[in-house]
Structures are given as C-alpha cells and as structure tokens.
Chains A and B, each alone.
Chain A
Amino acid sequence: TSTLELKEDKMLKVQFVGDDDVLNHILDREGGPKIKKERAQLLVNTQKIIKKPENELQEDDQEVLKDQNYVEVLGQDVQESLKNGSAADGGNKVYPFQNRKHPEKMAKLASELAKTPRKTVSLNMKNVPEITVDIPQCSKGHSASDKSQLKNNDKSEFLSTAPRGLRKRLIVPRSHSDSESEYSASNSEDDEGITQEYEEDTNEDILSQKIQAQNRVVSAPVCRETPSKKMKREKTSHLVEEYFEAHSSSKVLTSDRTLQKLKRAKLDQQTLHNLLSKVSPSFSAELKQLNQQHEQLFHKWMLQLHLGFNIVLYGLGSKRDLLERFRTTMLQNCIHIVINGFFPGISVKSILNSVTEEVLDHMGTFRSVLDQLEWITNKFKEDSSLELFLLIHNLDSQMLRGDKTQQIIGQLSSLRNIYLIASIDHLNAPLMWDHAKQSLYNWLWYETTTYSHYTEETSYENSLLVKQSGSLPLSSLIHVLRSLTPNARGIFRLLIKYQLDNQDNPSYTGLCFQDFYQQCREAFLVNSDLTLRAQLTEFRDHKLIRTKKGTDGVEYLLIPVDNGILTDFLEKEEEEL
C-alpha cells in the first residue's frame, strides 16, 4: 500500500484550490445545507481525486469494523466468562480512563437545551411523552460530542452510536488532511450524504462541526503516515494524553450558577418528603418481581448461616428493606441485633456493649474493647446453645470501615454461634478486607439489586435543596431585629454592611471590635465601649453574631448567616425605610 500512498500524495499535491474558495467553502458550511449542490458542481474536479482516498477510506472503515468485531468477540468472551458471575459489560467499560471532560460542558448543554423550545416540566407524570420528543435529539448530540472526544478509547461504542456520516467525517480529516482545501473538499462531499440524512437536524450539525474544528487542530501535525500506523500511534498517544488530562491539576473552570440564583424557594424537609412520596415509582411490577426473587433466598440464607458461612449483600439500591423483611420473617424467635452502620454515632464499642449488656445481661465494664471481645468470645464458646444473629446495614459505612473495627466484627462473626448478615454499598467496599479478614468473615456473596431509594440511609445527611434548620432564616432575623431598638438595628446593619463588603475576601475573619466601636461612634450609635458591649451581648443571646479571638488577641465579630440572606434582609430593610 506504500506505493498507493505515494501516488495519492502526488495527486494531492496537484490539486489546488484557491484561498477564496476555501473561505467560501467554510462560510457556506456555516450557512447551512442549502447551497450544497452548487458547491458540489464547483468542486467537480476534486471528486475524482477524492475517489481513491474514498476507497481507502472504506478499507479503513473496514479495518475499524474488524477492530470492532474483535472487540465484540472479546466482549462476548468476557460476558461468557462472566455468565458464571453476574452478566455485565466487559471490563473495558467498567474501568475506562476518565475521559477528558469539559467542566463548562454541562452548563453549555443546559443553556443550549434551554434555548430549544422548552417544555415546562412540572411535577406531573403526564408530561413525559411530550418530553420524549426532545430527548433523542439532545442525547444524541450529546453522546456524539462525547464520543468524538473519546475517539479511539471506545471505538465500538462510538461506532454504534454516532451516525454514519459523522463517523466518516471524523475519520477523513485524520487519514489525509494534507491541506486545508483538500480537507474541506472531502468534507463537502461527505456533507452531501449527511444533509440528506440530517436535513432537519441543524442544531446537532453545528455542534458536531465545532468538534470537527477541534479535531482538525489536533490531527494537523500527524498526517503523513499510513493510516493504520497512525491509528495505532494515535491510540497509544491518546491513551497517554487522556491519562494526563484526567489527572492534570489544571485549573478547572466552574460554572458560576448557584442554587441561590435558582429562583425557587427552598423546601423544608417535610414538603420535600411529601413531594417525593407523591411520585409513584416506575417499574413497580418489575421491582416487585426482583424483590420476590431475593425473598426466595431467605431459607437458603438461614441454612448457610447455620452451616458456618456469613452472608454479605451487594448491589444497587437500599438493602435495608430486604434485610428488614428477612428479620421479620425468619428471625422472630431468635435473639438478634440490628446495627445501622449508616448511623453517624455508631461504633464498635456500642455494638459490643449491646452484645454484653443486652444480650448477655452483663453489668460490668471492660478495660478495653479487646477485653470485651475476649469475654464475649469465651461466653459464646462456653454456651453452645447461645445463638445470636447480627444484621448490619452498611458494613462499609464511614464509622465501621476502620481496620480495627472490621477486625473485631470479623472475629465476632467467626464464632460458630454468631451469624452475620451484612450489606455493603460502597464501590470499593471489598478492599476493606484482606485475606486474613476475609477468612474470618467467611463470606458468601449475594447480589441483591433492588433499585430502592436510600431514604433511611441518607436521612442523616443534609440535602442542599432543603432549608437547613440550623441556620437562621430570614424571617426570624427580621423578627428578632424588630424587637430591638433603632440604635441596635443600626449597629447590626453596620456589621452586615461590613461583612457584605468583605464577602469576596476569603481570609475575612470578622470585624475587629475596636474598629467596630469606632464606626459606631462615628455613626452616633453608641457613646461608650460599654453600651456597645451590652448591645453585642443582646445579639449574641439571639445567636445573631459570633465572636472569635484572633491570633493577636483581638475580638472579631461575625454574623453566622448566609450572605444571600443578609442581602435580602438589607433590601427588605431599605424598602421599609
């Protein structure tokens, strides 16, 4: 093919297109698909030349397809081998490099989507079919843009999703974009095909063209190699690049839209809860079936627990309900302990305490956790009629994942008459256990994907969209200040203003007391140090301010209220005045 390559090079050199043409060409392209036919006539002479590359291009395509087949076969192989385990995609899907991500992409996408005729989305199920019209478009555009960045990383996926024309276009510039003109020519030819396919879909076209432009920049330096070689090189270089891009610590541009700017009143916990409970879960029939499958295993679990195994459940979705059902159906006549690993205050000490105090009715104290463990171990070894079931929700929780804790729970579970059934959710939870611990636990793994919500598990966390009850809301701020004297209000307003002036200063620690006193004096709000202090005590009692001693021993004053609320408050105050 090297001779062919040479010929092609020669032919490419012969071909010449004027700068103006190129310019026209590009402008045309921006203009849209209308003038395409005309231009095709204009560039008739180039067609001939491009034919050969076209052939080669197809070859190239085929090669890619072969690649794809290979990948497919591999994937099947993986799947075959995984059939024994849980069937799933190949490892390449599970462990890819992080692809390069545009931080602003999400924002861009959001705004782009916002431009398209917007369907009002209310809390109503009826709207769904309407919206579906919108979806294929945006998702396609999105995936295409995403894939083109991935390019070689995930070829099979790319080929399967990207439209044919787009694929061609993407390959063309890479295989022989010697000169700009040639490149655009090939493009125009391709465009014809595309326009037929995507006449209606201009929005997407623009998007992909943008990406093309990006590609051009990237692929310009590497062009005079045989395509296959280049592909290989690009493949490896891409992997490397992707790796460093994913791990580079370059400054990340973030979108500056915040939840505050979202003109939506924050909900309190109760309303959110109510809203969520109104939504009926989709696929309830399938979910029920899934749950029934799991429930059929209850007897088997009991059997295996009794035979010395311990059981660990994994899979997407909360497994709490499942374990609760297991508890209520199977364990009614047995002593058992339910341990909420997700409870923020849980510790191995409290687990052991509940074993010694409540199960074994022991009223003594222990010098250390290890002593306690030893005592429990002896107790259970002595009395073989004693049986205890431990149900641990989220064995991998923040509080329980420590090495020591795991060791102790493992030792407990290795006792013959203590049965442990636990659930894990974290992706890397199995890394908690080394071989020694695994042999202590003697796990049998069960996959129980439930898709149910982690409602209980996350109930100890705060949602950003829920009003925090701990902080002072606007209404109470106003309420408190109403009850104060005008002078006190003035003092407070001074502090607010100072704080708002400094809101962009990250090292702002508060207003120094002396300065504050000075300012207040100048505003004729106080006449002595003492009166200001008296006012401040009042504020402090209402939790309106916080004082902090700085490193130099000076007192600093700070309002522990969100700046947004303060701004609102000032606005309201001004209105009233």
Chain B
Amino acid sequence: MATSSVSKGCFVFKPNFKKRKISVPIEEYFNQGKNASEDSKLRFETYQLIWQQMKSETERLQEELNKNLLDSLIEFLQTSHSGLWKNSKDWSCQIKLREIPTAALVLGVNVTDHDLTLRSLTEVLQNNVTPYVVSLQAKDCPDMKHFLQKLTSQLMGCKVDVQSKEKESVQVIQKNVHYSMDSLSAWYMSVTQKRDLKMPRRKRTSSQWQSPPVVLILKDMESFTTKVLQDFIIISSQHLHEFPLILIFGIATSPVVIHRLLPHAVSSLLCIELFQSLPCKEHLTTVLDKLLLTTQFPFKLSEKVLQILTNIFLYHDFSIQNFIKGLQLALLEHFYSQPLSVLCCNLPEAKRRIHFLSANQCENIRRLPSFRRYVEKQSSEKQVALLTSDKSLKEETQSLLENLHVYHTNYFLVLRCVHQFTSSLPKYPLGRQIRELYCMCLEKNIWDSEEYASVLQLLRLLAKDELMAMLQNCFKVFQSSSAKELGNTAKKIEEFLAQFQSLDETKEEEDTSQSQSKGLKKMDLYHLQKSLLEMKELRSTSKRQTKFEVIREQVVSFVDSLVREYLLPPDSQPLHETLYFSSAHTLRQHLNAAPRIALHTALNNPYHYLKNEALRSEEGCIPNVAPDICIAYKLHLECSRLINLVDWSEVYTLKGAIKPAKSGAE
C-alpha cells in the first residue's frame, strides 16, 4: 500500500492476522541489533532490574522530599476548613468566613516536574482530606464558561462513593448547558446531604468532615487570564458559605505574581498562605547522592557523562525528570553496547555469572584496555595463564571485581569525608556540591590539580573550631557506614578530636604568658611602627609551631593521604569498563541534539557525511562536484534577501551544475 496520495494524509495499516502475535518481545530487539552480542537476554534483564530499582528509588525520594510540603499543606487545609464551619460568633471568624483559604504553592521553574508533585498532592488530598479535588490547567479555561464547565464536570466525575449517582450526574452534565456557581452549590448540597443520609456511621467517626471542602488546584497560575481568575474568585467568595472552596495556586516564578494578576479588591478575598517546594538543585543533589554516590547500584557514570547530564539540568531545564531520563538512556546504552555489562550487577550475582561466561566473553575481557594494562604489570607466568586459560582468567576476574566493589565502598566514604573538608572553604576551590568534587575525582588524579593544592593550603589556615567541626562530621560519615576497611580511619579521626580537646587546657596557659608580652605601651607613631615591624620579624623568624599547628598539619596530611589512597580515578581500576558508562557522545547526541549545526555541516561541509575525497575542500569553499543542494545553498548565501531566480540558476549552471531546472524545485 502506498503512503502518498493527493486526497489523504493519514494511512492506517492493520495487519490482517489480527493479534496473531501482539508484539515481538522487547528482548528480541535488544538482541538482534547486535548480532555478535553475548548474553543479551541476561543483559536486558539486568537492565530492567536495575532500572526498576532506580525508578522506584527516585520515586521514593521524590515522595520523601515532598512529604514536608504535603504535610504542611494538608495541615493548612484542615485548619482552614474547620475554621469555616465553626459557626462561632467571633468577629475574626466572621471575617474569615468571607475569605477563601488559599495555598500559594511555589514550585519553581522546572515545569515538567510539577505534574508529578501535583499528582501526588491530589492523591494525598483525596485520601486524607476530601474526595472533591479538582485540578485545572490554564489552557482548558480560556473563559469563565469553560472554567465552570471543566470544574463542574470534574467535580461530578470525581464522586467516588455512590455508583448510581455517577450515571445521573453524567446525564445532568449533558443536559445542563448553563453552568453556574448556583448550580454547583445546589449540587454540592444534594451530594453532601445524600451522603449524610446514606452513611451515618461514617459521619460520626469523622465528624469534622461532615461537609468535605472542595479543593481546586490551578496548576499553572501564571498562565490563567486575569479576568477569569478575578471573576471566579469574586463569585465563589459569595457562595463560600454554601460551597466550601479551597484554592491551591501552582506558581512557577514567585509569589508576587498573585498580586500582579489580582487587584487588591480581589486578593483581599483570599486568605493566602505560602508554601515553598524544595529547590530543584537540592533535589538533584539528593538524587545523585542516592543513585550514583552509593554502592547500592553497580552502574556508574564517567566524568563526561555526568557532566553532560548535570549541564543539561543546570543550563536547560532544571528538570529532575529529564535528568532521570538521561540516566535511563545511559543505562540502556551501557547494557546495549557493552557485552561485558552482564557483570554490572551486585557482587555475588556477578561472581556467579563469571562462571558461565562464554569463551567469547572471556576474549572480550582480555580485550578490555584496563585489563590489558593490568596484565602487563603481572609476572610473565601469570600473564600467560591469564591470556590462555579461561579458568584462571575467570578466577582473576572474580577477585578483580571484588576489588572494584571494595574500591567503590571506600571511594564514596572518603569522597563524602573530603567533601566535608572542602565544602566550606572560602571560594570553594573544589566546588560546593559533592557532585563537583565527584566529577573532578572521576576525571583525573585530583592531587595533581591546582585546586587541590589550594585546598590543602586553605586547610592549613583553618581555625580550631572549624577544623573540629569538620572532623566531627567526618567521624559521623565513617560511623554511619559499616565498612571495615576504614575502621582505623575513624579511630584516627577520633584521636585527632581528642588531641584537639586536650589542647584546650594547655593552650590557656600559653595564652596567658603570651598576652603579657603583647601588652604595648603608649608610644608615638614612629615607635609603634617600629615595634610592630620588630614583632613581625620575630614571628616570621621564630618558626616555632604551636602544638595546635602541629596537629593541624597532621590532620591535613591525613586527609591528603586518604585522598591519595582512595580517590583514584576509576580508569585506573581494572575492569572498570563493565560498570562505567563513558560514551558521552551518544548521550549528548540523543538528548541535546543540535539540528541546526547538523544542517549547517551537511550544507557547508558535505565531506563530513560523504567520505569521498573529491569533496574534501578548504573551509569556506565548496567543490563543484558537491551535491546540488550544497551549491545552491552556497549561492543563496551570497546574494541578498531577494533572490532573482534567473540569475541564481544561471550562476548555478555556470558553476558546473547540470540541471538548471533543479534549483527551481528547491
């Protein structure tokens, strides 16, 4: 069947044998893409397993991070609502009765993540507060009529309790053309009354919810038209006593926008309380912390890849969802392209899998650059054994993998510990966030960098209380982990702390002796300068270190030794290719593509795509054998905005092209 026609633009193809085989299992595609690949099934399963784990972990994190926000929101809703129905004669309550309780929810500019937050909010509200939760988007409500229509239909649709009622209400919607606040409140009365009649028991148990409020979430407050919002607020404030409404504004920019959208007369009808969601950068830090800076997931990213993902996050969208998407793609690419990724799983499982590795896979291991480097360092007999016998290779691989895992446990501990030291230094030479430090450590030997040197320099200048705070934090980091390897490190930190403490007592004595000599007599300016100079010289010449300085030096060298021992870049480790995804290039191509550059290159430098020597040319000129479109483009560039087609095609013809008619078609 052809897919072009002059009368139609859509062509549906349905296989005749309907549902013969719904779909080829996805593994098939994973498999067939690379014919010579090994263990593809196992790899795909591992991918899915790890991805599921990561996904649920991120969801859990998201929930956790939103928990505070949601809790405070719910509390607000409950109190505001109960206030509405107290019916007290109190003056302030009377005032409040006319105000619509409103929660302004500042969510940040990462619009794509809002949906998730608001969805979980809706869920929580429906479970805990009221069945009547409606969320509206600006694009659904261009005017008041649509607004009310949407509101009504969603409200009536979200009746959960009574089944029969639902059908009725559907009919009502279709008949009812005029939507008004009156009809809404009438509906509300009937529903709540029926509910009361039907379920007297429930009423008793949750008495304060005898008439549950209606929560209306405006997802994107900024894009609503001012008029609709104003009208709605004014009207609904009139009906507040019979239609208990609570508003939630989703705000992406800043709370000021409320006042910009609503004049004072309207905003005075609202009783606004502000809620701030967690900044997305912190969110990212947590996600990184829990997904990558941990031994829980064997999969790791190389420096370039991590850099790209964080850059997309920081410079493009601030969206956690997109970050996770990038992570997923990286994971997929890793398992798809690296046959040895089959070993990218938890240690016992990986050890088991090593036993079943095929001869081909063993060859693959031998071909890994990191492994070859490792072999070269071994003694000659061992080299022979590793290169010839699969059995010894497998044994060696097991121990290497084990080493790799140990390396990672230590790595992240030490990383966190070093981060404690570097994160509060002035000017943050190694970055404020742990991800920056991590990136640097991934890239190269960090102790070779200038930044690291300056960090040590700065550490040597720290005061005692700062240093002690850092040490204490470090101590906590080590204590929280169960790694045995670094047990004595924790002990050493403890020792340092004790030493500092003991310093306190001895220090006091010294202080008193020094302060006496420091007392300066009254003198004229000249003498003062002179004596100050002398003192300075004295200080610089007398290299006598105080006890504190000695210990500080020890601490610094201790940190340094930790870094040098444990924060080796991963490419120094044999078999790191199995766990690390390093093809930043593909990731960037698929996530952050530059179609403009691709077009430009294709037109200006056809050699980049068509590897023909005839097309190789200097920059800026196009060989006359280039594809017609390139020549036509180049000519087009050389003339003004108005192009005379005749001249154009004439020049084109003279430039050695063959078909004058062609340029017209373009």
Contact = CB atoms under 8 A, between A and B. Distances in A.
A335 B595 contact: no
A121 B658 contact: yes
Interface in B102-153: 110-112, 139-140
Contacts of A88: 594, 597-598, 600-601, 605, 608
Nearest to B599: A316
Contact of A303 (B8, B336, B595, B661): B336
A237 interface: no
B591 A444 contact: yes
Contacts, number: 315
Interface stretch (B283-291, B390-398, B573-581, B649-657): B649-657
B95 interface: no
Interface string A70-106: 0000000000001111111100011000000111011
Given A88-B600, A385-B22, A358 B14 contact: yes
A303 B26 contact: yes
Sort chain B's interface into a size bin: 35 or more
A93 B10 contact: no
A94 B587 CA distance: 23
A134 interface: yes
B29 A436 contact: no
B65 interface: no
A88 B619 CA distance: 11
Given A106-B638, A135-B656, A316-B629, A157 B619 contact: yes
A315 B599 contact: yes
B659 A275 contact: yes
B605 A465 contact: no
Interface stretch (A20-28, A168-176, A256-264): A256-264
B564 interface: no
B646 A161 contact: no
B319 interface: yes
Nearest to A466: B664
B385 to A, nearest CB: 38
B9 interface: yes
A466 B588 CA distance: 44
A539 interface: no
Contact of B603 (A134, A316, A343, A464): A316
A307 interface: yes
B200 interface: no
Contacts of B5: 343
B299 to A, nearest CB: 16
Nearest to A272: B661
Contacts of A434: 111
Contacts of B140: 370
Given A84-B584, A157-B619, A276 B639 contact: no
Interface in B133-177: 139-140
B141 to A, nearest CB: 12
Contact of A339 (B10, B602, B651): B10
A256 to B, nearest CB: 8
Nearest to A385: B22
A354 B654 CA distance: 49
Nearest to A96: B637
A484 B653 CA distance: 44
A464 B609 CA distance: 31
Interface in B11-41: 11-15, 19-24, 26, 29-30, 32-33
A572 interface: no
Interface in A104-124: 105-107, 109-110, 113-114, 118-119, 121, 123-124
A86 to B, nearest CB: 5
Interface string A433-467: 01110110010111101010000101100011110
Interface of B: 3-5, 7-15, 19-24, 26, 29-30, 32-33, 110-112, 139-140, 304, 308, 317, 319, 321-322, 325, 328-329, 332, 336, 584-585, 587-606, 608-612, 615, 618-621, 624-625, 627, 629, 635, 638-648, 650-651, 653-656, 658-662, 664-666
21 contacts: A86-B589, A86-B601, A88-B608, A89-B601, A105-B640, A109-B651, A131-B656, A135-B624, A135-B656, A143-B620, A282-B627, A283-B612, A283-B627, A289-B611, A300-B33, A332-B15, A339-B10, A427-B599, A445-B592, A451-B609, A463-B665
Interface of A: 82-89, 93-94, 101-103, 105-107, 109-110, 113-114, 118-119, 121, 123-125, 128, 131-132, 134-135, 138-139, 142-143, 146, 157, 160-161, 252, 254-255, 257-259, 261-262, 267, 272, 275-276, 279, 282-283, 285-287, 289-290, 296, 299-300, 302-304, 306-307, 309, 314-317, 324, 327, 331-341, 343, 345-346, 350-351, 353-354, 358-359, 370, 385, 387, 407, 424, 427, 429-430, 434-436, 438-439, 442, 444-447, 449, 451, 456, 458-459, 463-466
